[in-house]
Every structure is written in C-alpha cells, then in structure tokens.
Structure 1
Amino acid sequence: MFNRKLLGTILFIPTICCAVEFNISVLDAVDRENIDLSVFSKVGYVLPGRYILGIKSNNFLIPELPVMFHTRGLPDESAEACITADVLAKLGLKDESIKLVSFWNNGECADFSELKGVSIRNAINEGYIALGIPLAYMEYSDTDWVPPAFWDNGLPSLMLDYSATAYESRFKNKPIERKLSVYGTLGANLGAWRFRGDFQGGNQAAGETEERFNWSRIYAYRALPSINSTLVIGDNYLGSDLFDSFRYTGIALSSDDRMLPPALQGYAPEVRGIAKTNAKVTISQNANILYETIVPAGPFNIQELGRGVRGQLQVKVLEQDGSIQTFSVDTATIPYLTRPGSVRYKAALGKSSASGYKSGNSGDILFGSSEFSWGVSNSWSLFGGSIFSEKYNAVALGLGQDLYQFGALSLDVTRSAANLANENDRQGYSYRLNYSKRFDEIDGDIAFAGYRFSQREFMSMNEFLEANKALVNIGNSKSMYTVTGSKSFSNFKTSVYASYTHQDYWNIVPEERIQLSISKMFDSGFIKGMSANLSFSKNVNKNSSGNMLSMNLSIPIGQGASAHYAASRNNDVNSHDVTYSNYQNDGNHWQISAGVRDKERGSAESVRGYYAHEGAMASTTLSVGHESGEYWSAAATVRSAITITAEGAALHQQSVNGGTRLMLDTAGVGGVAINGGRTQSNYWGKAVVGDVNSYARTSAAVDVNQLADDVEVSSPVVDATLTEGAVGYRKLSVQQGMKLMTTLTLPDGRYLPFGVQIVDVKGRVAGLVSDAGMAYLSGINSDSEFTATWSDNKCRVYIAEKYSLQSLATLTCVPY
C-alpha cells in the first residue's frame, strides 16, 4: 500500500521554489567542465535591463512600451518587471484594489503581493508580459468587451481615402459621353482629435465639358470615453432617431453605443437591389456621396455602410444602357430602447446649411436640438426630443416596450410649428409606430419600421428648410409604412427576403418600392452546390417607375468557377444571359456574359465583361458592355487609401473613408502576408489593415504559410482596440536573415559554454550553444550583432558588413 503521508508530501511539493540543479553527467558533451545551464535553472529567468514589451492583462493588450527589469538585491535572483504607476492605471483595477498595491524600488515599481491570485509571467521571447488578475479585482468583467482603459488613440497621422470612377459610353446617334467622378476623405489625427474633410467632384464631357469639385463636409471629432459619447464640431448631419436628418454646421454631443458592450449596440444599414447590366451604384444622403461602386448584373446587397448612418438614403443605379433606377432606403427601423437605469442622449447647436457647403443662404437658420432615451425599467423606455429655432420648432415624445418573446414596440408623437414666409403659421402632428422581432426558433426576422402618419400642416425640419429656401411648399409627407422580413429554412437550404415601402405626400405623387427574393441551394445528380434565386422589384416615384422580375441559376464548375443563367423581364423587355464566372485566383474575380434582349423593334445581342481585383494596396473593378445597334460602354473604379505616420507610410485598402485602421511594422521586411494575404507589408516593412471596428478588439495575424524561407516570426498575432478614426500601430516580431550552423569561440580559442543563449540586439533568442561551441543561429545579416551571457561573463559576436559563408563557419565572441 502507498504511504499516504509520502503521497501527500509529493503532491504538495512547490513546483517553483528554488533553483533547479542539472546533472551534467548525463550529457554527451566532450568538455563537461565548460557547461553553463544557469539560464535554465530558474523558470522565467530574466537579466536586469530595459526591454520593449507589450503588457497583457487578462488578454487585454497594452501596446509596446519600455519596461525596466530590476532585482531586489538577492544573489542569483531573476529580475522582475517594473510595473509603473502609469501602467497600473491602465489595467482596469477597481479603486479599492489599487489601494492594496504597494511599491518597491524607491516607489517606482508596483508590488501585487497583497492581491491574492495575481500572477506575472515573463514572455519576453513572445514580446509581452502576461498579467493574470482575478476578476474580483477588476472594474469590468465582460469578456466580450474591452474596457476604456485599453482603448488606443493611435499615432499622429495623415490620411487620404478615395474612390475614383471613370465611365465612357456611346449610344446610337449620340456623341461619346465621358464621366469622371471622385469622392473621398482627407484627414489628420492628433491625440484624441480627428480632423476630416469629405470631398466629391468630377467632370462630364458630352459636347461641352462640365467640371465640379466641392468639400461636402469639413469637421473635427473626438471620443469622450468617460461619458460614452462623441463630440463633433463643424459640418454634420443630424443623426437623430426621432427627427429627419438634415445638414448643418455647428457642434454636436451624442452617446455612442459602440462604446458599450456588444449586446447593447446598434446596427448598420444595408442596401438591396437588382441591376439589369453591369451598373454603377451610388448611395448618397442629402447630395453627399456615402458609397459608390460597380456591381455585376443581377441582385446586389451592399453592407459596407458605416454604423453611424441614419435617416433616408438615396440610391441611384446607372445601367450600361444608360437607364437609371432611383429609390430610397429608410434606415430607421429599430425601436428606441435603452437598458434600465441608463440615459442616452444627443444634442446639437448650429446653423442649417441645406444649400451645401457654402452656408449663408437665406433659407438657413440657427437652431438647437436635443433628444434622450431613458430606460425606465427592464421592459419600458421613455424617449423624446426637440428642435428649436426662431421660425421652426418641433417636440417629440414616445414610449418603447420590450415585449420579450413578442418582439419590441415603440410609439411616438411629434408636434411641429413652422413660420413660413408668405404663409400663415403651420402647426401639425405626426404619429409613428415601430416594431421589430427576431424569431430565433425559426431563424427569421421581422422589422416593421412602421407606420407614420403626418397631418397636412405638419412639417419636418428638412421640409421646412426646402420650403423656406424655395418660398413654396414642395410637398410634405403624409404617411409612410415599411415592412421588412427575412426567413431561413435551414433544412431546405432556402432563404426568403421581402420588403415593402410606401410613401404618400399631400400634394405630389406617392412613392412605392417592393422587393421580394427567394434563394435555394440544391444538388442535382453529381453536380453539388447549385443555387437558384428568384427576385422581383417594383419602383414608383416621381423620377422613374417600373417592374423587374429576374431568375438566376448558378452551377459550380470545378473549384472556384461557375456558370450562370439569368432571365429577366424589365417592364416589357425580356432578357436572357449566360455567364461564366471565375474566382480561382484569390483576390481576383472575373466574368464574361453573352445575352439577348427582346424589344418592340426586334432583338439585340449583347456581350459584357466584369473584373474585380482585391489587392493589398487598392481594390479595382472594370466593366465593359456592348449591345448591337444600341450602345457600348466601359467603366472602371479604383478604391484606395494612403496613411502616413512618423513610423512610416503605406498604400492600402480602406472600407470606410476616414475610418479606423491599424498600421503594422514588420521590422523592415517587405512582402509579409497579413490576414490571409489580404494585405502585405511594403518595401519599407509597413502594412495597414483598413477594416477595423472601433472600440472592439481587432487581431491581425501574419500568414506563416506564405513566409519566405529566410523570414521567421516569433509572435505572429497582435491585438489592438482603437477609438474611432484612430491609426493604431503595432510591431510584429519579424526577423529576416540566414540560418546557419556555426562554431562560437572566445578569442583564446576556447568554446563558449554548453547551454548559453545567443541573443540579438532586440532581445530575441537567436540560438543556443551546444557541444563544442556549436550553435544554430537565425537572423544572420550583414552588420548583425549578438550577445552571450553566462555567470559573470559577457561577450559579443559581430557579423562583418561583407561576409562569406566560409567566414561564418567559426565566429569569435569578444568579451566586454
């Protein structure tokens, strides 16, 4: 039987209590007297000195900074990381926890011994220090949310994000028409402040040349994390959940739910439609371009709009045959609910600028606005707001209720009073009902963004500004109702989407938009992964009207290619197209189409081509089309960005103009693939990741499978949590150089001791000495320098600027 006392003693022997003694007699070494394994005798042994390291606290990363390692004066003691008071303040500890922290080394370094359970692990080779802190000591305990103490405002920087589209076409009996349009954002960051200028312009040549360029918006903003808000100064659009959006110049302060945990955040809108041909889609708001791209023929769904977009969006689809679709998308579809005990707010003060960037039009007015939402209880929210000015005032009040398994509902009433020139005062009411429901059990959504009815005398601020400028009432809204629903049938591999919007006016024609779509995945015999889509859309507005029905069938052809058949009826015109699509090459997608269109005057054959390239520095789309006897056209779009900091500059892709991004430093090594090759470091070893969410943890990773033979990385993943618009900066531990086996000796010919570590100037362990001074070193370049330390001895190894492989066979380590 086992001796229980002996077993208990074994179980409770401390694993890290003292230095480990190695039995060197078991080593098959020629010179057993020349062995030094002291660096391995203690777990995590670190020499005193200054290191550049990140600090991880419960997986939250503080960016790299100088960290001093000191000893406490005991012999053969490993140095400890000095956590300064500045770093301590960023760890997210409770105030009462911070009071328990004492300091050593003349009050410079934090001592966590009074906080039971706190651990510190030195991961110097991985580039950071890891702190494990029990959640009881932390101010925040939500693992899905990065607390403000770890948010990074990034580097001072300059940026230019742009999209340029060139379009050329020629229609029957008409001259060649050429168009060039460009829009983008010029910006600068300084500390927490972001300075931005949105621009748009272009020219058009069809007989006479027309050129235009304007700054659509110039503004500055910054985050205020202490109150979960954003401050904006300059040109802006009223981002209200109660009132229609309009353009103004002034100052705004509003709650930003992106600073809250994910469960309490909002949503980003999407735009759906159907393109008859390869088409240019332009999404704008109040004449300001938000997004522009070229899409291939068929249904499209654009989801790249920012989360802050609110209000009604105008969508213009320019087809290759010159026809234009226009419709509106209302993004305000979510009831205004707030968590219990919390208050969300928005406030703005300024001067309306409905006439464009150059304010001063007689229709512009000074105004102030405010709104709030208060979580009264778990299920009820009270919200309201107001707009006040000399000639226009509006007050809104509403209630929202969480109906739990039955969804969410809100009802609000708005009263307006307007004083128009040449008219009597107008006063009226508007009533709105919103509903939304997510059916998790059936994988479906219903969003009823409501019914809204406005009396004839009611005016929104936008309607007032337009009427005040034109001195005539151009048509007030009467009623609007929107129903949007989606449902997935997983067992049948089928999804359904439906949307209906109807807008009535008191004195102009109504607008109506219907969208229906059903998609199915299926197999047929030996062909797997086929898909079919049936879509219908109807648009009726003052600019255009029409119906479109389309059917698409997709058949996979091998790996990364497919064939498509599309049939559509647009009003009274029938079209049939066959398309071959290829996306075998990662980052490249191309397709060619041939079709026929039946018209009143007979049929017309057409051919189209489309190419899209997602490169590390830009995304490009090309489109060409020809229809016999009718037209030919070509278009190209380039989207790119350049970011400049004191650390370097890089061209890159950017999903949101002026948005958040992360610059990565690969230590001067170019061609390093990051995030699966979607971006690459340039010649100077800089890369920028542009699709970064604000206030949320973002990871960037080196694709180690694409590294060159002479490149290695010890810690391929970095994390960052950036404030809105920030340009973050992280260094990746990339090393480029030869790898070789060499013999290391002292000047007197003796070998370096067995077990000594060879470290480069960055503190990276480049190799380990084995028997007879043999060592396998990595990162060998001209002018490289390495250090070896054992007992009380130190020496350096220099690599000559011009070296040969023969000269590297034996290297001398010079004591110092």
Structure 2
Amino acid sequence: MKTYSFYKWVLCVPFFAFEAVGVEFNTEFLKIGEQGQADLSQFSAPDRLAPGNYLVDIVVNNNYYKQQEINFVENTTHPQTQPCLPRSLINTFGLKQEYISSLPEHSCLMPADLPGITARYYKNNGQLKITVPQSLLEYYDKNYTPPEQWDNGIAGLMMDYRIIGNTRQNKHEDRVNSLSAFGTTGANLGAWRFRGDYQFANYSNNEGNQSLDFNNIHAFRPLPSIKSQLTLGQTYLTSDIFDTLSYSGIKLASDERMLPPSLRGYAPRITGIAKTNAKVTVSQQGRTIYLTTVPPGPFNIQDLSSAVQGELQISVEEEDGSTSQFTVNTASVPFLTREGQIRYNTAMGKPTNGGNHVQNPFFTMGEISYGLSSTWSAYGGTILANDYHSAAVGLGKDLYQFGAVSLDVTQARATLEDQQYLGHSYRFNYAKRFDSLDADIRFFGYRFSDKKFISLSEFTHASNGVLQRDNKQRYSLVTAKQFDGFSTYLSYTHDAYWNAKSSERFDLSASTLFDIEQFKNVSLNISLSYNKDQDRNDLVSYLGISIPLEGQTRVSYNQQTGRGRFDQTVSLRQNRGKDDYYQLTTGGQQNNALVSGFYQHKSDAYQLGLSGSYVSDSYHSASANLSGSMVSTLHGSALHSSGSSGNTRLLVDTHGVSDVTFNNGKNHTNSFGYSIIDGAPPYENFEARVDMNNLPANAEAHAPIRSLVLTEGAIGYLPFEMNQGSKLLVLLKDYRGVSVPFGAEVTNTQTGKANAIVGEDGLTYLIGVKPESQLKVRWSDKSCTLVLPQVLPDTVTTPQPISCR
C-alpha cells in the first residue's frame, strides 16, 4: 500500500523560513512524473505571493487599519511580489504634506517609491504590515490617531430603548400602575447621523394620564478636516462661555473629542442615595436624557456623554411613590487652545421649551478661542437677538504642573417691557490633577452676576412669562482623592439668587477594602448627601459593610438615616456568573418590617431587572425594567444589551460562525455570526479581541485582534476571518486528470486568503472547508477552480481525488 508520511513531511517544509533571502531548489529529488515541472517559485522567498489581487488586512504601525484589496506585482529587483499601494490609501496615513507632494504621480505606488516607509505581507495571517516613521507624520501621539484614519462606519438603522413598569399599592389607597419608556432611534448614512428621542409615560390611577413625546430630532455629521461637528435641528447650545439653552436651528462647533486626550473635558458624574429600589431620571430643560433603576443605597452614574453640559435636573422616584429632586451642574476643563489654533462655536435658531414648541426670539451666537502661545489662550463670544445682546471676553492659562485656569467677563443688555437691563457676570474656573497626591480637582468654579444681568435663557422665559429666580452667584467644587486603599469623592455646589433663597448640594463618599480574619476583601462604604432648596433641607447618610462568603456570595449590612427616618437592613447577594445576580433584603423601614428582592440578568441581546418589596402597614410594590438596542445594516443585524442615546457602536462579523466571544466574554456572536460591541469611544482607538481560549468547535481565527477609530455616532464594521469547517486530505487533478504541480497555492475565493500548498502528486491538506466550498489553485501563470462535494468525508487519513477545472 502506498503511504504518505514522507509527503506530509514535505508539505510542512514551506512554512519554515529562517532567513529573508532568496532560495533555489533542486527539484531532481522530487518524483515529478507526468505532472511536469513543479512550481517552487513562491518558496524562493518567505511569504511570497503569486501576482494578482488579494484581499488583505492592512496594519499601520502595528494597529489594524482596514481590509482592502491590494494588487501584488512582480518586481525584477526583489525576490517577492510587491504590493502596489493605492494613492488614496497612502493619503490616509496622516503624512506631512511636503512628503506627499514629493511622491511620484501614480495611481498606486510600490514600497520603493515611498522613502522611509516599509510594507511587508505575512501569508500566515493575511496581514500587510506598513511601517511609517514618526518623522513623516503630520502629528504623532501614541494616544491619538490622525483624522485621515477615522472611520465613518457603515449605513444602518438603530433603536435604543429602556422600559420600566411599576405597580404600587399603598395602604388605604388605590393601586397605581405606571409604564415609562425612553430611548433614541436613528439612522446612519455616510457621515450623516439622524437621531430622535422618544419618551412615553402612562399612569393608571383614579385620574390616569398618558403621554408620548418625540423631541431632540436632529441630524449631525463630523467634519474632521476642521475638527468640528455640524448639527441641524433640535439640539442644545452647549457653549463654553454662555449658559446652556435648548433650541431648534443650526450649529457648527469645534469638537474637543477630536483633539488629543490632554485637552479633553470630563464626563459628568451624578451621585445620590436611594432609600428603596428607585427610578432615577436625568433631564435637562424638560427633556429626559437618562433613565435607570437603582437598588437601595448610594448610586453613582458616570456613563453620561462628555458632550452633556450645563445644569441637569435629577429626580429619584422611590417605590412608595415619594420623589426627591436635586440639581447637578456639569463641569468642563477651562477653555484652552493650542498655540496658533482656533476653536469656535456658532449657532442660530429659536429657543424651545425642552420639547417641540419653538419660542421667540430668533438668535445668533458665536464664540471663538485662539491659542496666543503654548500656555495662553484668549476667547470671547456674542449672542445677538431682538432686544437682547450679550458679549464675553476671557483668558485661559495652562499652568502645567499647577493645572489650568480661565477668567472671563460677560456683559448682557436686554429690553423687557420697555425697561432696560444692563448687567455683568464674572467667572473663574480651575482644574488640576495632582499626580503626586493621587488627587484630582476635576473642577472648581466661581461665578458672580450682578442684579441686572440676564442670560438668554432667562430672557426667553421672561419674554414668555415672568422673570424669576435670577442668578446671583455660584461656586462649585468636584474633587477625588485616592489614599492607601481608601478612595474619596466630593462634590459641592452653592447657588445664590437675587429674588429667592439660596440652594446648595453636597455629596461626600468614601470606600475601602480590608480583611477581617478569614474574610478577605470586606468592603466599607460611607456616603453623606445634603440638599438645600427653597422649601426643604435634606441630609441623608448611608453606612454599608459587605462581607464575602463562599463563591460569589456576599452578605451586607446597610444603615440609612435622614428625611425623618432611620432604616437598617441585612442583604444577601449572589452573583450567578458574570451576567446574573440576585439580592434578598430584610430589615426595618420607618419602624415597619421590610422584605425585598432584586434580580438582574444581562444577555447579549438585552438587560432585564426585576424587583419587589413589602413594607408592613405601609405598601407593597413590584417593578420590571428591560433595556437594550437593535441595529440593522446591509452587512447584518443584531440585538445587544447596552445601547444608550444612539451612541457609537461596532458590528463584528465572523462570517456565519456563531458563539464566538469577544473582549473577555462580554459579547457573543449570534446564530448569523454577528455581535454588537457598544460603548466604543469616538475618535479613540478601539480594539475588538476574539477570545481564543473559548472558540467554538472546529473554529480557527486569523488576526484575532483588530482595531479602528470611529467618528461620533458611527456604526463601525469589523469582519473577522474565521475558519470553521472540516479538515480534508485531497488529491488535486487538473481537467486532464494530471496532478496539480507541487507548490501550487490554494486560496479561498470568498476571502482571498491562502488555504493550503499543494504537495507531491497533488496531495493537499485543506482546513476549515465546508460542503460546496469554492477554491482557486494557482501555479506559474496558470490557475483552476475546484468545488468541493455536497457531502464531505469525515476522515483525513485517505486522500480523496478532486478535479480542478
């Protein structure tokens, strides 16, 4: 019987290359027979390809860039075929203009035409690695990718949703049922993003009411060449100088997220204390921008967009129907601009009441900042409207290790009911990160406005009603400090008014981990929250200690005081894997016995939360919340669990291979091979990683790590080359029945990637093939195509003859 052990050894030879030099083979030792001269040309140099077009993964400076078809051509001065790089591709590398101007005027360029730049193809993973020296780049920062490499994503539809249902029965009262929903729907087309928010509320009680609103309907697109964003429709006047205002119109503004990270602002952070399983609503000027449920105790919301600015209204609705409200003022880094650069923000339109109702007056706004030097920036702006005019000037200073400051003054002139108002407002901002102390003053600000100063927002309200509660002064502080194993967070805001009592908000939290005998990682949390408004003073304190038991189980004691009550509970929490947990609580609430439970489940498609409470002689309640998102594109569709406000997301495609996990098991592909990875930060490099240790059976991944930089609101798309299929030993014959020459290359016609090298007598070992797969075989200047049978043999020990035509 004929054996193939020697031939299998021969098949392995081409995959071992020790030096990148040309090699000549003596073919006399091979039993060529009737198949003619073997094609060993591709073995004369490592990673050699036959001339032709190939779909390759382009990697620039060790970062995955994109997948594109590249033409490889013969080169008489080089043993390998060389990639001819399209000029359109080269122009996206962020090269200096003088370098680009010095290049030959060809539609595609060889590596020899690109001084200083190297390009090499690696056959084992299908990657074309391009190295560009830092000296040739227009701008270099290891944490910053130039605009030429940003990706606008693909066209598609999306809908993010969060639904909360509640039922409550207070003692001696009728049952109250409520259903609320909030989310964003939208579409992407090229660089344009179309978005709109919807809000639904239904309360069934004695009176009953229901509402459905659509607002914040707008379109926007990035303009990378000027590091700006254009917005049309209903949006917010998010100014670095003037107060926030909702309006309908047009806006063109610099987007600081397109700048290097060192000049970007901070995302807002909201903290508070809930006494029960509560619904937290974050709104701005009457429009809901965030909705969630939280368990009893301190809560911390940090996933708001960094684009959110201005005053936010926070509502905490408890299970018993009581509601507490407070205000948070978001902070930003002082207005700084790089030397010689200009930042600007322009807008025009009419104010809205937070919904779709447009109000007078029509206004135009413009602000600008210019970098005077590497440390000084000058800025100013103006608002023009009928009977209203405001102008501001200011200076910003980078103090290096001492932080950054800004100081500005605004003058406003207004006419209301034939009465003239002329006032001024003065503002001071400071931000600093103390690395040596591991402390962070994220923002400190002070603002004073004299009695006749009127902002555009106040002027709008006064024109449609009565001028009330005008601002006098505000000072705020947000800081964090990390001690040895102990972390703290403090925020404080004080507002004073000319025609009303002052208000203030104070939040302090501290947490640490420590050991008690055999109990490791015991956690201690202390929070204090004080809210003083027009009609009430609330001081709420919280103490919580949590002790880990066996496995994923923890037992905790929680104590909460304030608002005329003293509550203490004991809870048992158990995590069931990384996606599920439940918590059971018992104790006392306002001298009444309490029993409650909370369950949270997260899947790839949605998040589900269930809770229920019973308080003796008071009330019983139950609630459920469901959240997630849907994305549909021409490449594929998927459900996912973490969509929020139409933000940036990534569609990964494993070409039909299901249950492939990404990013440490956080995402799984569905039965069609698609998964959505949410939360990709815009204008920052984002990696998607296949979990190689958890691949499905008979699956192999090539280039398991890929990255890209997406623009704001994009639906990114990353295809991952996956092989899932049979391993097959075949004897390849041409149409005459003659064995395909030794050394011929077999490629997958769908992906363009190499699959195998033909051995002696046409013996070939195919991997990852499926029934009726189409493969192309190339040698010298010849080629043929083979189609595998509908039923593949389940063995690789006996070669199967297959005809290649």
TM-score scaled by length of structure 2: 0.92
2:396 match: 400
| In structure 1, distance between residues paired with 2:544 and 2:281 | 24
Aligned match of 2:369 = 373
Structural mapping, 1:9-24, within 5 Å:
16-21=20-25
1:516–1:391 CA distance, 2 compared to 1 (3 A): same
Q: 1:484 aligns with which of 469, 478, 483?
A: 478
- 1:435 pairs, out of 414, 426, 430, with 430
Farther-moved stretch of structure 1 (405-414 vs 455-464): 405-414
* Counterpart-to-counterpart distance in 2, 1:623 and 1:489: 36
Does residue 1:706 correspond to 2:694, yes or no? yes
Whole-Å separation in 1 of the counterparts to 2:720 and 2:696: 16
8 Å contact kept, 1:178–1:206: yes
Aligned-residue offset at 1:636: 2.0
Which residue is equivalent to 1:494?
486
In 1, distance between residues paired with 2:447 and 2:78? Answer: 78
Task: Give yes or no for contact 2:729–2:800 (8 Å, CA) kept in 1.
Answer: no
| Partner Cα separation in structure 1 for residue 370 and residue 668 of structure 2 | 47
Which residue does the alignment assign to 2:446? Answer: 451
**For 1:798, which of 766, 772, 787 is the aligned residue?**
787
2: distance between equivalents of 1:253 and 1:729?
Answer: 27
2:89 counterpart residue number? 87
| Residue 748 (structure 1) shift | 8.0
Q: Which residue of 2 aligns with 1:5?
A: none
Q: Distance in 2 between matches of 1:221 and 1:793?
A: 51
Contact 1:399 / 1:412 at 8 angstroms: preserved in 2? yes
Equivalent residue runs for 1:554-593 within 5 Å: 554-593=546-585
One-letter code aligned to 1:292: L
Matching of residue 57 in structure 1 with residue 60 in structure 2: yes
Instruction: Evaluate the alpha carbon distance shift between residue 585 and residue 815 of structure 1 in structure 2; reply closer, same or farther with a 3 A threshold.
Output: closer
**Equivalent-residue separation in structure 2 for 1:22 and 1:535 (angstroms):** 80
Secondary structure class of the residue paired with 1:235: strand
Question: In the TM superposition, what are the counterparts of 1:200-599 in structure 2 within 5 Å?
Answer: 200-354=199-353, 356-359=355-358, 361=359, 364-421=360-417, 424-447=419-442, 449-470=444-465, 472-490=466-484, 493-542=485-534, 544-597=536-589, 599=590
* CA 24–549 in structure 1, closer or farther in 2 if over 3 Å, else same: farther
Could you tell me how far apart the structure 1 residues matched to 2:400 and 2:71 are?
54
Q: 2:719 aligns with which of 727, 731, 738?
A: 731
Kept after mapping to 1: 8 A contact 2:83/2:111: no
Report the Cα distance in structure 2 between the residues aligned to 1:567 and 1:76, rounded to whole angstroms.
76
Whether the aligned pair in 1 keeps the contact of 2:732 and 2:803 (CA below 8 Å) is: no
Query: Structure 2 CA distance, aligned partners of 1:28 and 1:576?
Result: 87
In 1, Cα distance between equivalents of 2:205 and 2:68:
59
Q: 1:506 to 1:99 in 2, by over 3 A?
A: closer
Q: Aligned with 1:113: secondary structure?
A: helix
3-state secondary structure, aligned to 1:96: helix
What is the Cα deviation at residue 742 of structure 1? 5.1
What whole-Å deviation, never above 9, does each CA across 1:548-594 have from its counterpart, x for those lacking one? 11110011123432111111112331111111122241222221111
Contact 2:82–2:111 (Cα < 8 Å) also in 1: no
Contact 1:61 1:150 (C-alpha < 8 Å) held by counterparts: no
Which residue of structure 1 lines up, in the alignment, with residue 42 of structure 2? Answer: 39
Specify whether residues 751 and 333 from structure 1 end up closer, same or farther in structure 2 by C-alpha distance, changes over 3 A only: closer
| Secondary structure of 2:436 counterpart | helix
> 1:766 Cα shift?
3.0
**Counterpart amino acid of 1:731?**
P
Q: How many residues align?
A: 787
What amino acid does structure 1 have at the position aligned with 2:629? Answer: A
Distance change >3 Å, CA 24–CA 318, structure 1 → 2:
farther
For each residue in 1:373-411, what CA deviation from the matched residue of structure 2 results, as whole angstroms up to 9, or x when unmatched? 222233332222221111222222222223333333222
1:75/1:692 CA distance change after superposition, 3 Å: closer
Deviation of residue 66 (structure 1)? 2.5
Query: CA separation of 1:62/1:710 partners in 2, compared to 1, >3 Å: closer, same or farther?
Result: same
For 2:401 and 2:709, locate their aligned partners in 1 and report how far apart those are by CA, in whole Å. Answer: 34
Cα pair 2:54 2:753 within 8 Å, conserved? no
Does residue 682 of the first structure (1) align with residue 674 of the second (2)? no
Mapped partners of 2:373, 2:756: distance in 1: 63
TM-score, scaled to structure 1: 0.91
Asked whether the 8 Å contact 2:60–2:129 carries over to 1, the reply is: yes
Change (3 A) 1:306 1:551: same
Q: Among 697, 701, 726, which residue is 2:685 paired with?
A: 697
Q: Could you tell me how far apart the structure 2 residues matched to 1:314 and 1:190 are?
A: 33
Query: What is the letter of the counterpart of residue 566 of structure 2?
Result: N
CA change 1:54–1:775 in 2 (3 A) is closer
Give the Cα separation in 1 of the matches to 2:80 and 2:456: 69
One-letter amino acid of the structure 1 residue matched with residue 244 of structure 2: S
Q: What secondary structure sits across from 1:337 in the alignment?
A: coil
Q: CA deviation at 1:18?
A: 2.9
1:99 Cα shift? Answer: 3.4
2:453 alignment partner, SS class: coil
Q: In percent, how many aligned pairs have the same letter?
A: 37
User: Counterparts of 1:333 and 1:578 in 2: how far apart (Å)?
Assistant: 40
